Amino acid sequence: MFQTNSLRFRVAFYYALFGAGLSIFLSGGFFLAVQQAGHSLIDQILLGELEEHVGVAVFIPPNEKSVKGYMISATEPGPDIPSEIKKLSPGGHDVTIKDIDYRVLVADKDGARYFMLYNTESMHDSEEVFFRYVVFFALFMIISSSIGGVLLASRVTASVSRLARQVGRAQPGDTELSLTELTSNDEVGELARAFDRYLRRLRNFVERENYFTADVSHELRTPLAIMLGTVEVLEQDETLSARQIERLARIRRAAQDMIDLTGALLLMAREHHTAADEQSCHVAEVVSACVEKHRHLIGERPIRMEVELAAAPNLMVETPLLEIVVGNLIRNALFNTKSGIVLVRLEAERLIVRDTGVGMRPEELARALERYYKGASSAGAGVGLSLVKRICDRYGWNISLESQEGQGTTAEIDFSERRRMSRPVEDESIQ
């Protein structure tokens, strides 16, 4: 079966269309040529009859079944000339008299006008039979061109199909993929060579990216591990004040977050993720931990953070990635709220983060999830929400934003498409 948008279908269709048009044109032209030749032949017959009868002393018009004749002159008006032919000009004409078709030849000779009529009924019967043959020939040519188009399309697109199958089976790790062996030295071969050149460049690019990712991962993890070790040593100092201990705890949390974030971003960089990459994650625990981790951002501002755990779903998702999603939404809500309430509500199939902050204008809301886009009141780099969108796309979640300038923003994530299991609990509110 052909797909209507495939190259094979288009080749077959246009070849069949060309064959059909050509056969109809030739058949019609041939039929008209034969018909015109018949009229010319009849005119020659009538002219011969006219010459034969005019050559005698007295014109005796023929009155046979197939040929009739009439004459009009100054002295002889002509007996019973049909009104349909009286006003005809010299030349050949097709006339119907009493439901009978005639070919009429009108000629002026020696001061008289002669009308020679030929009964074309038998000729029309022959033309009808001939027309059936012409129609049969046209249909035969159309069907033949359609079959030929299908066969031609299969042959023409065979090399393209082989090339497409080979490219479709290619995997990111393939290093010995050679496409030029599949084709000859034609346009498809040139396409295969272009693909080969592109694949070589792509392999080199992927190799450089792999080296870069591995080097960056190593160079980031090493200093972060040193920082964590140093913080642990400093925390054992009994002479530290409570403020210094709190600052060290924030440094330790930030360093650990960087390590987790590095691992999560490396996981996001993979082309495919399998079930082995994912683990069951308790969303309520992640939400509670993220809320506590970000409470220090409130500072001295009159902000009340409310947490409502209406359910405790479990999702098959990497915990660091979920922490990135929840943490970014909470940070955005706290950064854009000078006073009021920041509500974090977890339900069985969705997470809602609502604030009473500055909100966004319609043009800002439309671009809020774009990478590197920063609103007028944003102090970040414009990466947070776009990263949240990428993670949501990875797991099939839906993120939506609602906002009004001066009235706050509501961010909602719907987990329903990829939610694995959920165990509802009694509604509770944690202040």
Check residues 275 and 338 and name the one with the higher pLDDT.
338
Check residues 273 and 282 and name the one with the higher pLDDT.
282
User: Does residue 247 surpass a pLDDT of 90?
Assistant: no
Please tell me the predicted confidence (pLDDT) of residue 282.
Answer: 93
pLDDT > 90 fraction of the chain, expressed in percent and rounded:
15
User: Does residue 398 surpass a pLDDT of 90?
Assistant: yes
User: Does residue 428 surpass a pLDDT of 50?
Assistant: no
Distance CA 297, CA 320 (A): 20
Distance CA 244, CA 323 (A): 27
User: Does residue 57 surpass a pLDDT of 80?
Assistant: no
User: Does residue 143 surpass a pLDDT of 90?
Assistant: no
Please tell me the predicted confidence (pLDDT) of residue 353.
Answer: 95
Q: What is the DSSP string of 75-132?
A: S---TT--HHHHTPPSEEEEEEETTEEEEEEEEEETTEEEEEEEE-HHHHHHHHHHHH
Closest CA to 307 of 267, 359, 256, 343: 343
Distance CA 143, CA 132 (A): 17
Q: C-alpha distances in angstroms, 300 versus 113, 303, 336, 337, 344? A: 122, 8, 15, 12, 20
Any idea what the Cα angle at residue 306 is, between residues 305 and 309, rounded to 5°?
145
User: Does residue 214 surpass a pLDDT of 60?
Assistant: yes
Q: What is the mean pLDDT of the chain?
A: 79
Closest CA to 253 of 191, 188, 323, 305: 323
Please tell me the predicted confidence (pLDDT) of residue 426.
Answer: 40
Q: Domain ranges for the chain, please list them.
A: 7-155, 187-265, 274-430
Check residues 87 and 402 and name the one with the higher pLDDT.
402
Say if CB 332 and CB 385 are below 8 A apart. yes
User: Which one of 145-159, 174-188, 276-290, 351-365 scores highest in mean pLDDT?
Assistant: 351-365
Please tell me the predicted confidence (pLDDT) of residue 430.
Answer: 37
Q: What is the mean pLDDT of residues 339-364?
A: 92
Q: What is the mean pLDDT of residues 381-389?
A: 73
pLDDT band at 220 (very low <50, low <70, confident <90, very high): confident
Distance CA 389, CA 371 (A): 9
User: Does residue 308 surpass a pLDDT of 80?
Assistant: yes
Quote the radius of gyration of the chain (alpha carbons, Å): 46
Please tell me the predicted confidence (pLDDT) of residue 194.
Answer: 77
pLDDT band at 305 (very low <50, low <70, confident <90, very high): very high
Over the stretch 357-383, which tens digit does the pLDDT of each residue have? 988 888 888 888 887 676 655 544 445
Q: What is the mean pLDDT of residues 116-123?
A: 85
Q: What is the mean pLDDT of residues 33-41?
A: 83
Say if CB 355 and CB 342 are below 8 A apart. yes
Give just the sign of the alpha carbon dihedral 130, 133, 138, 139. Answer: positive
User: Does residue 338 surpass a pLDDT of 80?
Assistant: yes
Q: What strands, in cross-sheet order, belong to the sheet with 312-316?
A: 280-282, 312-316, 421-423
Any idea what the Cα angle at residue 139 is, between residues 136 and 143, rounded to 5°?
140
Over the stretch 250-263, which tens digit does the pLDDT of each residue have? 888 788 777 777 77
Topology of domain 274-430, per CATH? Heat Shock Protein 90 (3.30.565)
Q: Please, which residues have CB within 8 angstroms of residue 9's CB and are 6 or more apart in sequence? A: 2, 3, 153
User: Does residue 186 surpass a pLDDT of 50?
Assistant: yes
Q: What is the DSSP string of 146-206?
A: HHHHHHHHHHHTHHHHHHHHHHHH--TT-S----GGGS-SSHHHHHHHHHHHHHHHHHHHH
Please tell me the predicted confidence (pLDDT) of residue 278.
Answer: 61
User: Does residue 411 surpass a pLDDT of 90?
Assistant: yes
pLDDT band at 183 (very low <50, low <70, confident <90, very high): low
- Give SS3 for 370: coil
Please tell me the predicted confidence (pLDDT) of residue 289.
Answer: 92
